[in-house]
Amino acid sequence: MTRSLNPLLEGKPAAPLLVVISGPSGVGKDSVLMRMRELGFPFHFVVTANSRPRRPGEIDGFDYHFVSTERFEAMIRDDELLEWADVYGQYKGIPKFEVRQAIASGRDVILRINVDGAATVKRIAPEAVFIFLAPASLDELRLRLTMRRTESPDEIESRLAVAAHELEQARHFDYVVINEESRLDEAAGQIRAIITAEKLRVFPRQVQL
Amino acid sequence: MTRSLNPLLEGKPAAPLLVVISGPSGVGKDSVLMRMRELGFPFHFVVTANSRPRRPGEIDGFDYHFVSTERFEAMIRDDELLEWADVYGQYKGIPKFEVRQAIASGRDVILRINVDGAATVKRIAPEAVFIFLAPASLDELRLRLTMRRTESPDEIESRLAVAAHELEQARHFDYVVINEESRLDEAAGQIRAIITAEKLRVFPRQVQL
């Protein structure tokens, strides 16, 4: 595709970006995103579609888009999802309209997805910015998974084996950000710098969905 | 050339960059660089070689490398200069050893050069990061040139004609930063973001000279 010159050169605002943040389980994708929201970074947070029933306290359209299994399968059929997964019989996925709406309104969109999901998005939206969040080391990742106490020792070892494989996928991403537990602000700042820099490219990426 | 994976993934520091900051005369290249130094951005400032006599107060090796015309011509012959110009019979140029030394010591190097010079550096060091500093508009550039009172009205018009041509060269750069007089910190911050982001690329640029 031919890219257009940056609109900044004509005194117009930069085009919005689709930013994918991925990385091994336990690396801290949620913590970094939460920190970015706390620091007031302006971006659109995508609400995921989910086929499981709404739990008390959850708000439709905020926590998730709650849809029926039938509706979700129709969305799959009609190619309305950027990426989806069947997790133990429950569907989760990213509706394209969410991303389209945000971009149309001029806001950057950040997607937090696992490494497999990022590969899917890369096929559908190659012009997105792909950021790989990596642990300082596999030992640090083990410590982090142990600390959060949601996995058994066996599950932790199996997640680490997957992580080692996922780290090799970093080469398919554009950027790598090391997320050390004690340096969340540094990782958040680096992601912000990447977004700032990408918007200043003479020929910026143009997401089409 | 084949690029290597970012050393950050192995817990090693990122490789240093060669950053070229260019743009039309009067756009504020010096002001932005000075601001970056004031803000304590760590980078190596390249000392230019010059064939004119040293003036009182100037320090050899700090303000310039003062060399004889014969020595300068030998440097041209021996391909020791990244870029040079003959300005009314006086030579000015960037010694490659300056850049090599800084990069070898792990520091980023920032070069401030005019648009023609940037094209030369791009041929010699295509892996440098090329940043085009642009005025918010040609009207703002006219105002800026008028304010600094070093050019006559005729010279200003001739510089503006050159600037209009130079703006078209922006397409050969990697990034564009708009330098508005009142927003020097924003431009400095954007250049810092570009440098931060470039060091986070999964396959970073590797300068060879």
Report pLDDT digits (tens) over A150-172: 788 898 888 888 888 889 999 99
Check B11 against A136: CB less than 8 A apart: yes
Q: Do B197 and A202 touch (CB under 8 A)?
A: no
**pLDDT (tens digit, 9 = 90+) per residue, B162-176?**
888 889 999 999 999
Nearest chain B Cα to A133, which residue? B9
Percent with pLDDT over 70 in chain A: 99
Q: Which residues of B touch A168 (CB under 8 A)?
A: none
Is A13 touching B (CB cutoff 8 A)? no
Inter-chain residue contact B200 with A176, CB threshold 8 Å: yes
How far is Cα B36 from Cα B34, in angstroms, rounded to an integer? 5
User: For A47-105, CATH number?
Assistant: 3.30.63.10
> pLDDT: is A150 or B121 the higher one?
B121
Number of Cβ within 10 Å of residue A202's Cβ equals 19
- Listed by start position, the domains of chain A span 1-43+108-209, 47-105
What does the pLDDT read at residue A63?
83
Query: What is the amino acid identity at position B107?
Result: R
Cα distance from B93 to chain A (closest Cα, Å)? 27
Question: What is the separation, in whole angstroms, between the first and last Cα of chain B?
Answer: 14
For the record, the structure tokens of A59 come out as 């708000």
pLDDT at B42: 83
As a whole number, mean pLDDT of residues A101-120 equals: 90
B1-43+108-209: CATH number: 3.40.50.300
Contact check, Cβ <8 Å, A202/B11: no
Q: What is the pLDDT of residue A149?
A: 78
More confident position, A26 or B191:
B191
pLDDT at residue B80 in the model: 94
Q: How far is A10 from chain B (nearest CA, A)?
A: 8
Rounded to whole angstroms, how far apart are CA atoms B42 and B108? 8
Looking at domain B47-106, does it have CATH number 3.30.565.10? Answer: no
Q: What is the mean pLDDT of residues B190-195?
A: 96
**Where would I find the beta strands (DSSP E) of chain A?**
18-22, 44-45, 49-50, 65-66, 81-87, 90-95, 109-112, 129-134, 175-178
H runs (alpha helix) in chain B: 29-38, 69-77, 96-104, 115-124, 138-147, 153-168, 184-199
Mean pLDDT across A81-101: 91
Report A:187-206 residues touching B (Cβ under 8 A): 189-190, 192-194, 196-198, 200-203
Question: From CA B118, how far away is CA A38, in angstroms rounded?
Answer: 40
Residue A145, H or E segment:
helix A138-148
Name the band, by pLDDT with cuts 50, 70 and 90, for residue B1. Answer: low
